């Protein structure tokens, strides 16, 4: 199991699938030279310029070309450099890709992937930091994947490429530099299967992407205070492994949902609504959400921190819910 960074895992996952299936082709801005986030390094050299194509700054054309190519039998992977740029091609994604199969009565499928860098935390500001998976969750017809570890990057990206429906993969830009083991050989995970990363009895923490690490850290701190937490990484929003969340919450009686995005409306609300409807009888307390501020992301460090989710805020929310004192930060020394 070699250790890869999350960004290397993107290249590795793409390479794995391109080697396996020559219908897999890439397109995006500056990807041929390795990409702005260095997530397509080496692929042009290995697979040639016909399969790794630079594009103009034309996200609508990128998304549309991916869709057309998928209709005609390729398996394109389009890069939308920052997921914020879905704004300029939202019609192609939400109104064309998501609906084409259905509205033609299933006359064709769209085996395509759109991937790019999502989320905040690096001071990129309001227009380069959004948690765009939530826009997509409003739109039936799109599968939504958001990996938290290098291994999951490879496994879920591979699954996305092999899937016959449009899959949006949201990589987290604040995780690109993180490292982790990736299984040797071909690695593929199923879509729609959440990972239970830690089992505990008192509360279920539901996380995705960046917030997985926050929840694991929070669980550590809570453990020191005698609170035992289950941590679930959803991995996918569509297909959603609601059963795993429901089963855990039925057992622990308490749920805290930790989402990076503004609380106004995001996937956390969707999970909370499912719990409030389907697990009501087993809930021993309110369904708590820890969300980002309802504000565009500011740049200055103390401001961005103020409006962002954090391990501290998760710990505080759980402590309040379970009515235990907030455990102090464990010293690393």
Partner 1 sequence: MTTGVDTALALHLHEQMVFIRRFEAKVDALYRQGRVRGPAHLGIGQEAVAVGAASVLRPGDRSIGTYRGHAHALARGAPPDAVLRELLGRTGGICAGKGGSMHITSVEHGYYGSYAIIGAHLPIACGLAWADQIRGDDAVTLCFFGDGTTNIGAFHEALNLAAVWSLPVVFVCENNHYMEYTPIADVIAVKQPAADRAAAYGLAPLCVDGNDVDAVRAVIGAAVDRARNGGGPSLVEAETYRHGGHSAADPATYRSTEEVAQWKLRDPLLRHAEQLCASGVSDGDIEAVTTGVAAEIERITVEALAAPSPSADTAWTDMWSDGSSRWRN
Ligand X SMILES: Cc1ncc(C[n+]2csc(CCOP(=O)(O)OP(=O)(O)O)c2C)c(N)n1
Interaction of residue 28 with a copy of itself, rule CB under 8 A: no
Binds ligand X by CB under 6 A, chosen from 38, 60, 71, 88:
88
Which among 134, 153, 145 has a CA at the least distance from the CA of 37? 153
CA gap 62, 55 in Å, rounded: 7
Interaction of residue 283 with a copy of itself, rule CB under 8 A: yes
Interaction of residue 276 with a copy of itself, rule CB under 8 A: yes
Regarding beta strands 167-172 and 143-145, do their DSSP bridges make them parallel or antiparallel, or are they unpaired?
A: parallel
CB 35 → ligand X: shortest distance, Å? Answer: 11
**Helices 267-278 and 242-252, axial angle in degrees (round to 10):** 60
CB 135 → a copy of itself: shortest distance, Å? Answer: 5
Interaction of residue 85 with ligand X, rule CB under 6 A: yes
CB 34 → ligand X: shortest distance, Å? Answer: 15
Interaction of residue 122 with ligand X, rule CB under 6 A: no
User: Hey, what long-range contacts does 30-36 have (CB within 8 A, 24 or more apart)?
Assistant: 30/54, 30/81, 31/79, 35/79, 35/81, 36/81
Neighbours of 253 (CB within 10 A): 16
The reply to whether 254 belongs to the active site is no
Bridge partners, residue 116, by sequence: 170
Restricted to residues 122-161, the positions that interact with a copy of itself (CB under 8 A) are: 125-127, 130, 134-135, 137-141
Binds partner 1 by CB under 8 A, chosen from 119, 150, 155, 298:
298
Bridge partners, residue 233, by sequence: 195, 207
Interaction of residue 163 with partner 1, rule CB under 8 A: yes
DSSP notation for 137-192: HTSTT-EEE---SHHHHHHHHHHHHH-SS-EEEEEETTTTT-EEE--SS-----TT
Restricted to residues 270-299, the positions that interact with ligand X (CB under 6 A) are: none
Residues that bind a copy of itself (CB under 8 A): 84-88, 90-92, 94-95, 98-99, 102-103, 125-127, 130, 134-135, 137-141, 238, 261-262, 264-270, 272-273, 275-278, 280-281, 283, 285-289, 293-296, 298
Residues that bind ligand X (CB under 6 A): 29, 57, 59, 81, 85, 88
Q: Catalytic positions, please?
A: 128
């Amino acid at each position: 199991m070699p250790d890869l960074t999350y960004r290397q895992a993107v290249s590795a996952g793409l390479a794995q699938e391109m080697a396996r299936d020559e219908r897999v082709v890439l397109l995006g801005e500056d990807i041929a030279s390795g990409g702005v986030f260095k997530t397509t390094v080496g692929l042009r050299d290995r697979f040639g310029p016909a399969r790794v194509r630079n594009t103009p700054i034309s996200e609508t054309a990128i998304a549309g070309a991916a869709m057309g190519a998928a209709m005609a039998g390729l398996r394109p992977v389009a890069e939308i450099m920052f997921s914020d740029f879905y704004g300029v091609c939202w019609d192609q994604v939400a109104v064309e890709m998501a609906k084409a199969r259905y509205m033609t009565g299933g006359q064709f499928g769209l085996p395509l992937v759109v991937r790019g860098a999502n989320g905040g935390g690096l001071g990129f500001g309001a227009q380069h930091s959004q948690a765009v998976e939530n826009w997509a969750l409003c739109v039936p017809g799109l599968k939504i994947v958001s990996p938290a570890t290098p291994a999951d990057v490879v496994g879920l990206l591979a699954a996305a490429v092999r899937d016959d429906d449009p899959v949006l993969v949201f990589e987290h830009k604040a995780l690109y530099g993180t490292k982790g083991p990736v299984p040797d050989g071909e690695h593929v995970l199923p879509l729609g299967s959440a990972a239970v990363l830690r089992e505990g009895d008192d509360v279920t923490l539901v996380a995705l992407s960046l917030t997985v690490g926050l929840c694991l850290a929070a669980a550590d701190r809570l453990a020191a205070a005698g609170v035992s937490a289950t941590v679930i990484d959803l991995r996918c929003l569509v297909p959603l492994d609601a059963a795993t969340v429901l089963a855990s919450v039925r057992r622990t009686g308490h749920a805290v949902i930790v989402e990076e995005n503004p609380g106004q409306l995001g996937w956390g609300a969707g999970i909370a609504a499912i719990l409030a409807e389907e697990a009501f009888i087993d809930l021993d307390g309110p369904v708590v959400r820890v969300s980002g501020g309802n504000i565009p992301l500011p740049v200055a460090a103390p401001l961005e921190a103020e409006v962002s989710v954090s391990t501290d805020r998760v710990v505080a929310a759980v402590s309040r819910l379970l009515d235990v004192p907030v455990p102090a930060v464990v010293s690393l020394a």
